[in-house]
Amino acid sequence: MNMPDLIRRKRDGEALEPAEIELLIRDYTTGAIPDYQMAAFLMAVYFRGMTREETAALTRAMVASGEQMDWSAVPGVKVDKHSTGGVADTTTLVLAPLVAAAGVPVVKMAGRGLGHTGGTIDKLESIPGFRVQLSREEMVRQVKEIGLAITAQTGELAPADGKLYALRDVTATVESIPLIAGSVMSKKIAAGADAIVLDVKVGSGAFMPDLASARELAQVMVALGQEIGRRTVAVITNMDEPLGMMVGNALEVKEAIAVLRGGGPQELREICLTLGSQMLLLAGAAGSDGEARRRLEGLMDGGGALAKFRQFIGAQGGDPEVTDRPELLPAAREQITVTSPAGGYISAVQARLVGEAAMLLGAGRVTKESVIDPAAGIELKKRRGDYVNAGEPLAVFHVNDRTNLEAARDRFLSAYTLAPERPSNGQLVYEIIS
């Protein structure tokens, strides 16, 4: 394959043949194409985009780079859920046990943090002993036994996406509709669920900054899912400000436990109920949105969801005691309060900047090789719409390494806009596309 020519043609805005894209992905997966050429190609796609046909070829090629899960041994409609990435977005940790507790099998292949956004696998790894690599046989056995399993991308399933995802993270090529659609849908198709609920985030902390691009991404992904016979729904949700109040891996596990107990931030609970209802509806486990919601609320408030989370942690080798004693999760040596330099109503909290501040504290990766600190992160004390006095705490930083503390504080404070008037309420869910 003449890689410089392929890069040049994409750079100049040409549409490539499906066979060329298939070869490109195959050769990158085997190592025949080096990272520097793929990085240049990704940047060309970032600027030039891809046609629907190219995006479909990219997705198919990434699925074909590995195996596909076969769930025929597990009865019922298997559902999966995926978020395009956000800040303090702990929904998967809540939804997977919640929906499984409602009797719907949940199967999921999850990713690590990308850029300023968190990743389910990094969060789960903060639970002592938790195993994120399951073989296909282990996945099937576990879903049969307890109705739920989450695994990291292995060398077996969509390995091309695993490699590309890590490269895009460090080459500023994440925010591209065809690349996100191919990445998400190749994982979903390879993981083999019958029904897929996509949470497409939009706003300052999302990869899609405006509703029009989020809608386009949602439509491309729903079409890719339906083309290959998977029931697919996308929910477009607000990621202008962090969804929950915790940003960082162990901190987000703590917050998920609070929501599974029926508490936690109202906004996080609400998004979980919306997405969870769609999962139940797609699986045919509820006749209406209202019925689905009532069941899920009952499971959160009645302890069923938390009991399923305990069982899930135990099944994957983690210490289930963390659900009753969250202090068993990794904790940072220092807790440093960050106060507001001025008073006023909080009219905006730019989620991306909060995510970047948490990354600087060690909660995310700055380079491909960075090692995550599971205990590091930010505990928010105020939300958009709250009033804050000068000198009042906005957040508590959880810190083990002070190297980037001042940079993190500056980045964090720059996320806040204060105003004399209370802002109008923001919208949490924009649209559902099916």
Which one of 146-154, 182-190, 233-241, 357-365 is the stretch in contact with ligand URA (CB under 6 A)?
A: 182-190
- Residue 226 pairs in a beta bridge with none
Six-digit token string for 221 = 């992904």
**Contacts for 294 with CB less than 8 Å, ≥ 6 apart:** none
Instruction: Using CB under 6 A, pick the residue from 66, 85, 105, 265 that binds ligand URA.
Output: 85
Q: How far apart (Å, rounded) are the C-alpha atoms in residues 86 and 201? A: 7
Which one of 46-54, 172-180, 210-218, 367-375 is the stretch in contact with ligand URA (CB under 6 A)?
A: 172-180
Q: How far apart (Å, rounded) are the C-alpha atoms in residues 257 and 236? A: 24
- Residue 111 as a binder of ligand URA (CB under 6 A): the answer is yes
Query: Which residue has its beta carbon closest to ligand URA?
Result: 183
**Contacts for 49 with CB less than 8 Å, ≥ 6 apart:** 176, 177, 178
CA 369 to chain centroid, in Å, comes to: 20
Q: How far apart (Å, rounded) are the C-alpha atoms in residues 429 and 299? A: 22
Instruction: Using CB under 6 A, pick the residue from 50, 102, 109, 114 that binds ligand URA.
Output: 114
Among candidate residues 83, 126, 183, 204, the one labeled active-site is: 183
Q: How far apart (Å, rounded) are the C-alpha atoms in residues 268 and 245? A: 9
Q: How far apart (Å, rounded) are the C-alpha atoms in residues 251 and 418? A: 26
Tell me whether residue 410 is one of the annotated catalytic residues: no
Among candidate residues 78, 82, 215, 231, the one labeled active-site is: 82
Tell me whether residue 352 is one of the annotated catalytic residues: no
Q: How far apart (Å, rounded) are the C-alpha atoms in residues 115 and 185? A: 19
Binding mask 193-232 for ligand URA (x = CB under 6 A): --------------x-------------------------
Shortest distance, position 98 Cβ to ligand URA, whole Å: 21
- Residue 180 as a binder of ligand URA (CB under 6 A): the answer is yes
Tell me whether residue 122 is one of the annotated catalytic residues: no
- Residue 84 as a binder of ligand URA (CB under 6 A): the answer is yes
Query: Dihedrals φ, ψ of 18, to 5°?
Result: -50, -40
Shortest distance, position 118 Cβ to ligand URA, whole Å: 11
Give the interface with ligand URA as residue ranges (CB under 6 A).
84-85, 111, 114, 165, 174, 179-180, 183-184, 187, 207
What positions carry a catalytic annotation? Answer: 82, 161, 168, 183, 187
